[in-house]
Structure 1
């Protein structure tokens, strides 16, 4: 996999985010240590997520409930 790490950010809930454009796979790691992978996320949406001011709000509004996921 060719992961792209998101630019550094501050969040009250999210520790790290990375994206694999070849597999359309988005991975979100939370501060509690849990990790989730979201499938078939288009590159444009991952880029918008990377640039979002609030990662938690973007995740809730644009990712959760819209894409299949699994806990890693």
Structure 2
């Protein structure tokens, strides 16, 4: 999944939560994301573009605290 913006993504179908780890190391969880939206993001040629157009501003989110070495 090469992306200049998204390092990794994980989806929890039980809670409809999409967790995005950015290449900067910052992690956000987007709430109430339908599974088909996650599937479309996985299939998208540009994860960053999809994120900006279809996730950000469309779903509530929280920043996940991360441990720093």
TM over 0.5: yes
Number of residue-to-residue matches in the alignment: 64
Q: Which residue does the alignment assign to 2:67?
A: none
Q: After TM superposition, what 4+ stretches of structure 1 lie above 2 angstroms from structure 2? A: none
- Structure 1's unaligned 5+ residue stretches are 1-8
Which 5+ residue runs of structure 2 have no aligned equivalent?
65-69
Structure of higher CA gyration radius: 2
SS in 1 for 2:42: helix
Q: 1:33 aligns with which of 4, 16, 25?
A: 25
SS of structure 1 residue aligned to 2:2: coil
Normalising by structure 2, we get a TM-score of: 0.90
Over the residues paired in the alignment, what is the CA RMSD in angstroms?
Answer: 0.5
